[in-house]
Structure 1
Amino acid sequence: MLLLSPITLVAAAALLFAIHLIRRITSPLSKIPGPAASKFTSLVLKWKEIKALRTVYIHKLHQQYGPVVRIAPNEVSFTSWEALKEIYCSGGSGYDKTEFYDLFKIYGRRTMFTTLNKADHAKRKRILADRYANSNVMKSASVTGVQERSSKFVQRCTCAPGGVSDIFMALHAYACDCITHHLFHPYGTDCITKKQDEEMMHQHGFIDRLISHYAPTLHRLFSKVLYLFAKPRETPLADDYVLETSQLSGTASFTLMSRFDEKTGDLDYIDKAAECLDHMAAGIDTTGDGLCFLLWELSQPRSLGTQRKLAEELRANPDTPFDKLPFLDAVVCEGLRCFPPIPMSLPRYVPQGGRSIDGFWLPEKTVVSCQAYSVHRLNGDIFPDGDVFDPERWLEAEGDADRRRIQFAFSNGGRGCVGKHLALVEMKTLLRDVYSQYSTTPHESMQEEAMAMSDQLISARPLGQKCLLRFQPLDASTCTEEPKRQHDIIKMSQCPTATTGNARAISGHHRLVGWAKMPMGAAAVGSELSIDLQCKYQNTSTSACRCLGTITCMDQYTYVHVPPVLDTKVQPGPEFYMLGRNIPSVPRDAFEHTFTFTFILGSPDNPRMPRLAADSPSQRTYYLMYRSTPSSAKERQHRRAEDASDALPSVLPVLL
C-alpha cells in the first residue's frame, strides 16, 4: 500500500484549497456585492438560519450592500421588482424550486407545494386550485364557517379573566379550525374550545424538521433521549386526524376533499392525506402568525389612531360586505406588507443556460431568491418609510398599481400561495369581529422583545410565542369631558351601605384628595394607581389612608378595585370598587385627563357586582383626574408652570 508523506498530504491540501479559492474568486458571482465570507463559505448563513435570524440577517445585508447581495458561494438575494418578476413569473411559473422544499415532504410524498419543476406543479394545481378560487372561498357556506369560528375566537378572548388573552395560541386555534373547515367540513376541528383538538394543533409543525435538517446527528440523539422518558405516539394526533378524515364521505361541496372525490388524477389515498396535512400546516402557521403580528401592532399606542379609524368604519357599515370596506382592506394590505406570512427567502434555481438578473450574469444552478420582508421595506419609491406601519398609503390612488404588483406576501406568479383568498377572508372576518366591538391594548407584562420575529423554516412567529392583549368593549360610554379645574375636580362621595352586597362594609364617607399619576401615553386600563382618601367611619375619628387600586374591565364597565383599607383605627376597612365609564388611553398630547367614577362596595368573588351596582340608587359620583408624567424637558417645564398656577393641595379639609 502506497503511503504518502505528511509533506505530500499538506501540499495536496494546499493545492486543493488554492483551486477552491481561485474558483471562488473567478466565479461569475465574484462581482456581486456581499460580505467577504460569503464568497468562500455558507457557514455564516447556516448559523443565522439555526439561530432563526436568517431573514433579519439578509435584510441587513441588503441595507448595507444594496438590492443584489451574494449571501453564500452559490446563492444570491434580490429585492427589486424586476428580479422578483424574472425569478417567480418568467416562463409561465418562474424558475424551478431547489431541494430546500424536500423538507416539507409528507409521508415521503411530494405535495403541490413541494413539487420542484413547473410541469409537476401545474398537473397537481389543476386538481386543487378550483377549491381555493375566490368564487369558491366566498360561497355562503364557506364564509359562514369562517364567521362562526371568528365569533368563537372573540368569545374565548373576551371571556378570559380581565379580558386578557394570549392571542398567539387563540389565533393558531382559529386558523386551524378555519383551514380544516375548508378541507373537511363537517369534520373540521374545534381547537378554540376543545383541548384535545388544540393539542393536535400544537403537535403539527415544522420545528422538529428544522433541527433534523441542520443537525441530523443531534436530532437522532435528542429523539432517543426523549424516548427514555416518554414513548412517542405511533402516529401524531394530526396524522391520525387527517388519515381518518380523508376516508370519510359526505364532505361539503366547497371543501378540498369533495374535489378529490370528483377528480383525483393519479393521486392515491396517501397522496390526498399528504396534501391535506400540508395545507393544514400552511394554514395554521402563516395565517396565525401574520394575524398575531398585526393585532399586536394595532394594539400599540402608536397605532391607536389606526385602530380608532378602523372601528369607526366597521361600526358605521355593519351590513357592508367585508371585502367592500376600503380601510379594512388597507389595514390588511399593510399588515401583509409589514408582517408577511412567509417573510423568508423562496429559493429557486437559475435555469439551464444561465440568466442575467439586475445586470449580473448568473450561471445555471445558481440559487436565487427574494424575501418578502426586504422587498416590502427596501423599495422606497413604492413604499416610502418602509419600516412604518401606515395603512393610509393603500388609500392613495397614485402608485396603487405598483404597490399591489410588488406585494409579495403570498409569493408571486403561478406558484404563489394557492390559499391566499381563504387567508384574506379569515383575516378580514376576524378583524371586523374584533374591532367593531372591542379595542385592544397590550398587557403590562408584554415586552417588545417577545414579539421579535423568529424564523421557522419558511414562516416566522413571535420569539416569545405569547402575545397577551386586553380586550375592552366599545359599547361602554367613553368619557370625553375636558379636564376640569381644581374646584370642579374634588367632589364629595358618600359610600353606599352594606345592602349593595359587601357584608363587611360599614357606612362612612370617602374623599379623593390627591392625584393619580401614570406615564405619558400609557393605557389606563390595567394600570395600578395610588389613591389618597380621607375616611371617616361611624364612631371613629377621621383618618387619612392610601390605597393601591387596579383598573380592570368587566361586563362593559371599567372599574377600579381597591382592597380593604389598611387603617389600624378602622377594622375591618371597606373593600370597594369605583365603577366608571370605559377608559380610553391617555392622550399623548395631554398632561391630564378626567374620568367619572362612582363608589361601589362589592367583592371580587361576585362577578355580577358591576351590573348590580349600576342599578343601585345609593351611588355618589366624584371625579378622578389622571396627571401623566412628562417625558421631555419641555413638558416638565410646562408642568412646573402649570403646577405653580393651579396646584392641588396634598390634603384637603374633610367636609361632613
Structure 2
Amino acid sequence: MEARHVYLLFCGAFIVAFLNYFTRPDPLKDVPGPWLAKYTSLLLAYHTRTGKRFLYIDSLHQKYGPLVRITPTQVSCSSPDAPSIIYAQGSSALSKTPFYRAFYVSGTPSLFSTQDRFDHASKRRVLAHPFSYSSVKQFESWIQTTLGKFINGLDARCLPPSSTSGGAEIAGRPSGGSNTSASKVKWVDMLAWFNYMTFDVISDLAFGEPLGMVDRGSDILDTKSDATGVAAMIDYRGRTAAFLGLFPAILPPSSISSWCMWILANIIPDEFISRGLNSTDSLSKIARKCVRRRLSEGGEVKRGDLLDRLVEGLGKQDEIVQEDDVVTEAMLLLTAGSDTTANSSAAILFHILRNPRVHKALLEELSQLEIDEGEEGLMLPSHDQVKNLPYLQATIDEGLRKFATNAFGLPRVVSDGSSVEISGKLFPPGIELSAPAWSIQHDPSVWGDPFEFRPERWLEDGNTHLKKHLLTFGMGPRMCIGKNLAYMQMQLMIATVILRYDFELRDETLESVEGFMHKPVDLWVTIKRRD
C-alpha cells in the first residue's frame, strides 16, 4: 500500500473516531460543571495534585448546585440524601469503580480496594469478628501498654511547672527517648506523637509486635539519614494513588500496567509519582517482613491478634499460605488503621484547645472519673470509664465532622441493567457517582452553623439523625471495618491527654493537606503537667 493511501486511511480513522466521540449520546450533558471535565480527568487530577481536592469540589457545588460533573463519567452529589443512595446496602449497593485499582499491592486487591463483591464478602468475613467490639475490647491491655509509653514520652517533653512557652525553641519532631531534657524548652508536634501511638498499636495487633515508634520518639524505621518516616510514606502513597486512580487504563490488571508503572517510577522526572510508588514498595516490604516472620513460626495462632486471624482465615488455600493476600491485608491494616486515627485525634485536640468553653466542659466531665493508679504509677482511664461519656463522644464526633479526615467522595459505579436517581436526575449504567464528605459535613441545611465547633449539637433533642451525615467511616457494605478500634483509641488518647496536661497552641489555624485522606500538616504545642 502506498504511503499516500496509508496517510488517507489514518486520517479517515481519526475523523471517524473524533466524530464518534463528540457526537455519541452523552448521558451527563445536562449536568453542570467545568467544560473541561466533559472531556478529561486532567482538571480533577490537577486539583488532586494540589492537596486541596475537597475544597475544589466544594467550590464547584457552591457554584453549580448539588450535582456537578467532575470527570467525563463521574458526578459529585452533595445533597444530604445522596450518601444513602450511593452507598446503599443490599441489592441496591453500587460497586467500586476502577479508581481503587490504584491501591493494589503487587497486583493484589485488599478488602478496601477489591471491586468484586464476592471477594469483598469473603475478605470481610475473615476480619468482621476480629474488629467487632468484643474482640477489640480484648486488645485493650495491649493498647493500654502502648498508651503508657506514649504518656511517658510526653511527660519527658513537658515544660517545668514554672516555665512559660514565650521563648520556646522550635525543634524538629522529637527523635530522642525519655531522656529529653525538660530544661530545654521545645515545641512538641502532637500529630507526630499520635502517629507513634497508633502505629505501635496497629503494628502490635497486625504484625505481632509494635514497631517501637513511641520508644524511639520517631516513625523512621530505617537508620539512614535520608530515610522517610512511615507516616510520610503513607501520605505519599495515598496522594499518588488518588491521582493515578483517575486514569484506570494504566492500572492493574491492564496489560500495560506494569510498563506504565515502571516508566512513571523510573523515566518520567516526576517526584510526586515516583515517591508514591516507592513508598508503596517500602510499606509492602515492612508488611512482608513481619508476615514472613509469623509464617516461619508455622502460621499457628499464638496471640489471637489480627495477623493470626489473617493467616488462619485468609491465607490458607489447600493448606498453602497465600503470602501476597496476607501481606496486602496486613499492609491495609497498617496504613488505614493508624494514620487516619492519628490525623483525626490531632484535629480533635486542636479544636478542643481552640475553644476554651469546650475544653472546660470536657475537663469537667473527665474529672468525675475515679482512675486507679496502674503500672509504673500512671493513672490511665479504662475504656469502660470513657466509652459512654456523652460530652467526650460528642466532642470526638464534632471534630470528625468539622475536619473530615475522609474528605472527598469515594466513587461508585451504576451497575449494568440498573439506574440510580439523585436530586431528580436519573443516572444510567456506567456512570460513576460520589458524595463529597467535606461538603456534606459542612452543609448548612443539615448542621445550621457548620463552621462552628459545637459538640452540643450531638446532644440536643431531635438531632439523632446527624449520625447518618457523618461520613468519616463511610457507610453501607463497604463501611470501614476498623471503626471500633479507631473510636477506642481516640477516646482513650483524648481523655488521657486532656486530664493529664495543659497545652498551648503555637498556631491559630490548622493547616492541612489532602492525599487520599485529609490530614493536618502538624500540631505544635507546649505541654505542662496539670496540677
Range of TM-score over shorter length: 0.7 to 0.9
The alignment of Structure 1 onto Structure 2 pairs a total of residues equal to: 454
SS of equivalent to 2:267: helix
Per-residue deviation at 1:159?
A: 2.2
Q: Could you say what secondary structure the match of 1:76 adopts?
A: strand
For residue 396 of structure 2, what is the aligned residue in structure 1? 332
- Segments of 5+ residues of structure 2 without an aligned counterpart are 158-183, 223-229, 245-259, 273-277, 372-383
Conserved in 1, the CA contact under 8 Å of 2:194 and 2:346? yes
Picking from 459, 469, 480, the partner of 1:395 is 459
> Which of 1 and 2 has greater Rg?
1
Separation of aligned partners in 2, 1:272 and 1:290? 27
Tell me, yes or no, if the aligned pair for 1:67 and 1:80 is still in contact at 8 Å. yes
Asked whether the 8 Å contact 1:334–1:391 carries over to 2, the reply is yes
The answer as to 2:480 corresponding to 1:422 is no
* 3-state SS of 2:410 partner: coil
3-state secondary structure, aligned to 1:461 = strand
Task: Give 1:129-278 correspondences, 5 Å limit.
Answer: 129-139=128-138, 142-160=139-157, 161-162=184-185, 164-185=187-208, 187-194=209-216, 198-199=220-221, 201-202=230-231, 204-205=233-234, 207-208=236-237, 210-211=239-240, 214=244, 217=263, 219-221=265-267, 238-239=286-287, 241-247=289-295, 248=297, 253-260=303-310, 262-264=312-314, 266=317, 268-278=322-332
Within 5 Å, give how 1:489-500 maps onto structure 2: none
Question: d(CA) in 1 for partners of 2:6 and 2:267?
Answer: 38
User: Structure 1, residues 8-31: CA drift from partner, whole Å, max 9, x if none?
Assistant: 9878756654543333xx522111
**Aligned equivalent of 1:585:** none
RMSD, aligned CA: 3.0
Aligned to 1:71: 70
Greater helix share, structure number: 2
1:461 to 511, 514, 519: 519
In 2 relative to 1, CA 133–99 (structure 1 residues): closer, same or farther, beyond 3 Å? same
- Per-residue CA deviations over 1:178-217 (Å, capped at 9, x if unaligned) read 11222244x2222111368643635742515744864954
1:31-52: CA deviation from partner (whole Å, max 9, x where unpaired): 1222233223322111111222
Q: CA deviation at 1:318?
A: 3.4
1:437-482 CA deviation, whole Å, 9 max, x = no partner?
2232212xx463xx333111x21222xx33211223321xxxxxxx
Q: What residue number does 1:112 align with?
A: 111
2:476 aligned residue: 413
Q: Structure 1 vs Structure 2: percent identity of aligned residues?
A: 25
| Contact 2:103/2:113 (<8 A) preserved | yes
State the 1:136 CA deviation: 0.9
Cα-to-partner distance string for 1:270-314 (whole Å, 9 max, x where unaligned): 3112211111011222112111222222222xx111111111111
* Corresponding residue of 2:120: 121
1:318 aligns with 2:376: no
Change (3 A) 1:119 1:282: same
**Does the C-alpha gap of structure 1 residues 377 and 183 become closer, same or farther in structure 2, counting only changes over 3 Å?**
same
**Which structure has the higher relative contact order (CA within 8 Å, separation 6+)?**
2
Residue range with higher mean Cα deviation, 161-170 or 42-51: 161-170
Matched residue type, 1:461 = K
CA–CA distance in structure 1, aligned partners of residues 144 and 344 of structure 2: 18
Per the alignment, residue 52 of structure 2 pairs with: 53
Shift of 1:431: 0.3
Seen in structure 2, the aligned counterparts of structure 1 residues 41 and 273 have a Cα distance that, compared at 3 Å, is closer
Is the CA contact 2:28–2:69 (under 8 Å) kept in the aligned structure 1? yes
Q: 1:257 to 1:167 in 2, by over 3 A?
A: same
Q: Aligned pair in 2 of structure 1 residues 252, 55: CA closer, same or farther (>3 Å)? A: farther
Q: Does residue 377 of the first structure (1) align with residue 434 of the second (2)?
A: no
Inter-partner Cα distance in structure 2 for 1:103 and 1:366: 19
CA contact (8 A) 2:207 2:291 kept: no
Which structure 2 residues correspond to residues 627-646 of structure 1 after superposition, within 5 A? none
Distance 1:203 1:246, change over 3 A: farther
Instruction: Point out where structure 1 has 5 or more consecutive residues left out of the alignment.
Output: 227-231, 476-656
Between Structure 1 and Structure 2, which shows a larger proportion of strand residues?
1
TM-score normalised by structure 2 residue count: 0.78
- Is the 8 Å Cα contact of residues 512 and 519 (structure 2) preserved in structure 1? yes
Q: TM-score, normalised by structure 1?
A: 0.64
Contact 2:97 2:432 survives alignment (8 Å) = yes
The CA deviation string for residues 59-78 of structure 1, in whole angstroms up to 9 with x for no partner, is 11112222221111210011
**Cα distance in 2 between the residues matched to 1:289 and 1:259:** 27
